[in-house]
C-alpha cells in the first residue's frame, strides 16, 4: 500500500487508458487502406449518414474546410461567443473575416441573447457558438436570430460531447465535435462535422478530397506518446515524475499541457492552416470508430455524476468565496470544472499540498478579441477624400484668419 503523501491526482485527465493508445498503434501497423471506405461508412452511419457528416482530423480542420468552401467575402463579420481557443479566431481572420465577440453569462456560460441581437449588422454573415467547459447553450433562440437575418450558423461542440448522445441542433447549419486528446471519447485526434444541407455536405466532401492525407507514422507516434502519458496519470507514477521534474527545475504543468495539446505552437498562422488541412489516416478513423461506439453505449456517464458531487460539496461557499461558472446551465457535462476565486495561486498551492495537481492554465480557452476590420478599397478612398476635404477646410480657415489679421493691422 503506497502512502497517500506519495500520491498525486492529475487535474487534467486523459479519458482513455494505455490499451486505447496501444489499439491506435496496432491499427497503424495492421489496417489496410482498402478498408478505408468501409470504416468511413461505419463512422458516418453513426452521425446521420454520408450526406450529413464528414470525419476530419480536428475541429480546426472542419472550420478551415467550411470557410474554404463557403468563400465568404473578405471583411464579413462573424459573431462568435467570447470564450474559445486562440486558433479558432485565428483561422477566421486568416480567411479575411472579422470576429465580433459576444459576451457569456457567468452563471450559465450561454451567450447573451440581447448582445447577440444588437451585434448583427449589414456585414454579418455567420454566427459561431462554442459550448465551453461542457455547458451547452440552448440553441433555439440563436437559430431564430440566425434565420431572421439570414446568417450561417455553426455550433462548436468540441467540449460538449457527453453521455446524452447529443449530435447537434437539427436546425444548425454545421455542428463540430472533437475526439482530441483531452476530450470525452478521445481517439487522441479526430473530429466529426455534422452538416444540415446535403448539397453543402457534397461540396465540403469534394473540397476535403483535395487535401493531402495525414501520415500514418505521425499518428503512430502520437499514440505512443499518449500510451506513456496514460500510464503516468495514475497517482504514484504521477507523483514520482512530478518529483523528478521539480528536482530538475522543470515546470511539469507547462510540459504536460504542451504534450496533450493537439497542434502545439505554430511558427505562423499560415503554418497552422498547413497542419490542419489534412485528411485523417485510416488508423485514426479506426480508433475514432471504436471510441464512438463505446461512447454511444454510455461510456461517459460518470463525469456528470462526479461534477454534481463537486457542486454539492462547494455549494456552501458559492457567492462568498468562489464562483462556479456555468452552474445554472440547463445541460452540463462538466468536461472541465472551472472555479473562480479571488486568489487562484493560493488555492492552487493548497490543492497541490493535498495531492491534487490543480492548475490555472489547464486549457487553451481565452477571451476572443474583436478583429480590427481592414478597410475595403472604397472605404480607403472615401477616408482619403474625407481627409483631403478636412485639410482644405483647415487651410481656408487659416487663410481667412490671416486676412482678418492683415485687415486689423491696416
- pLDDT, one tens digit per residue, over 58-106 is 999 999 999 999 999 999 999 999 999 889 999 999 999 999 999 999 8
The pLDDT assigned to 184 comes to 83
**Highest averaged pLDDT of the listed ranges 21-30, 119-128, 328-337:** 119-128
Alpha carbon distances (Å) from 171 to 65, 136, 202, 266, 293: 20, 16, 18, 35, 25
The pLDDT assigned to 232 comes to 84
Confidence bin at 344 (pLDDT 50/70/90): confident
- What would the mean pLDDT of 285-290 be, rounded to a whole number? 94
Q: Which residues fall within 8 angstroms of residue 334, CB to CB, at 6 or more apart?
A: 133, 134, 303, 304, 306, 307, 308, 310
Model confidence at 264: pLDDT above 70:
no
CA 364 to chain CA centroid, Å, is: 8
Give the integer Cα–Cα distance in Å for 131 and 108.
11
* 3-class secondary-structure state, position 189: coil
Model confidence at 376: pLDDT above 60:
no
Model confidence at 407: pLDDT above 60:
no
Question: Cα–Cα–Cα angle for 34, 39, 40, nearest 5°?
Answer: 105
Half-sphere exposure of residue 404: CA atoms within 13 angstroms, side-chain side: 6
The pLDDT assigned to 103 comes to 94
Confidence bin at 293 (pLDDT 50/70/90): confident
Q: What is the mean pLDDT of the chain?
A: 85
Alpha carbon distances (Å) from 77 to 137, 184, 200: 21, 32, 21
Confidence bin at 194 (pLDDT 50/70/90): very high
Model confidence at 287: pLDDT above 80:
yes
Confidence bin at 239 (pLDDT 50/70/90): confident
- What would the mean pLDDT of 208-220 be, rounded to a whole number? 95
Give the integer Cα–Cα distance in Å for 263 and 272.
8
- pLDDT, one tens digit per residue, over 133-188 is 888 888 999 999 999 999 999 999 988 877 667 888 999 999 999 998 888 889 99
pTM above 0.75, yes or no: yes
Q: Which of 90, 99, 66, 98 is CA-nearest to residue 268?
A: 90
Amino acid at each position: 500500500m503506497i502512502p497517500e503523501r506519495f500520491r498525486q491526482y492529475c487535474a487534467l485527465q486523459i479519458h482513455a487508458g494505455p490499451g486505447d493508445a496501444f489499439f491506435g498503434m496496432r491499427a497503424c501497423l495492421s489496417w489496410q487502406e482498402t478498408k478505408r471506405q468501409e470504416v468511413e461508412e461505419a463512422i458516418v452511419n453513426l452521425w446521420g449518414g454520408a450526406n450529413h457528416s464528414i470525419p476530419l482530423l480536428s475541429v480546426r480542420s472542419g472550420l478551415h474546410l467550411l470557410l474554404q468552401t463557403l468563400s465568404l467575402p473578405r471583411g464579413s463579420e462573424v459573431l462568435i461567443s467570447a470564450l474559445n481557443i486562440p486558433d479558432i479566431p485565428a483561422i477566421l481572420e486568416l480567411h479575411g473575416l472579422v470576429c465580433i465577440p459576444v459576451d457569456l453569462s457567468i452563471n450559465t456560460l450561454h451567450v447573451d441573447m440581447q448582445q447577440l441581437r444588437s451585434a448583427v449588422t449589414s456585414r454579418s454573415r455567420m454566427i459561431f457558438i462554442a459550448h465551453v467547459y461542457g455547458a451547452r447553450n440552448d440553441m433555439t433562440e440563436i437559430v431564430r436570430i440566425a434565420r431572421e437575418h439570414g446568417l450561417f450558423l455553426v455550433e462548436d461542440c468540441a467540449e460538449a460531447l457527453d453521455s446524452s448522445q447529443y449530435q447537434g441542433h437539427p436546425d444548425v447549419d454545421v455542428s463540430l465535435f472533437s475526439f482530441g486528446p483531452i476530450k470525452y471519447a478521445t481517439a487522441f485526434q479526430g473530429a466529426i462535422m455534422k452538416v444540415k444541407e446535403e448539397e453543402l455536405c457534397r461540396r465540403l466532401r469534394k473540397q476535403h478530397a483535395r487535401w493531402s492525407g495525414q501520415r500514418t507514422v505521425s499518428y503512430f507516434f502520437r499514440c505512443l506518446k499518449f500510451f506513456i502519458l496514460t500510464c503516468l496519470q495514475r497517482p504514484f507514477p504521477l507523483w514520482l515524475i512530478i518529483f523528478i521534474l521539480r528536482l530538475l527545475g522543470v515546470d511539469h504543468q507547462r510540459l504536460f499541457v504542451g504534450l496533450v495539446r493537439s497542434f502545439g505552437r505554430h511558427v505562423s498562422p499560415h503554418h497552422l492552416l498547413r497542419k490542419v488541412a489534412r485528411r485523417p489516416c485510416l488508423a485514426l478513423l479506426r480508433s475514432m470508430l471504436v471510441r464512438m461506439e463505446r461512447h454511444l453505449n454510455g461510456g461517459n456517464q460518470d463525469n456528470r455524476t462526479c461534477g454534481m458531487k463537486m457542486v454539492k460539496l462547494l455549494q456552501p461557499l458559492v457567492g462568498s468565496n468562489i464562483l462556479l461558472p456555468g452552474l445554472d446551465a440547463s445541460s452540463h457535462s462538466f468536461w472541465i470544472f472551472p472555479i473562480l476565486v479571488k486568489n487562484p495561486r493560493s488555492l492552487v498551492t493548497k490543492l497541490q499540498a493535498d495531492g491534487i495537481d490543480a492548475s490555472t492554465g489547464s486549457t487553451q480557452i481565452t477571451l476572443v478579441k474583436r478583429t480590427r476590420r481592414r478597410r475595403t478599397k472604397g472605404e480607403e478612398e472615401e477616408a482619403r477624400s474625407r481627409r483631403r476635404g478636412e485639410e482644405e477646410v483647415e487651410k481656408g480657415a487659416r487663410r481667412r484668419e490671416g486676412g482678418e489679421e492683415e485687415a486689423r493691422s491696416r
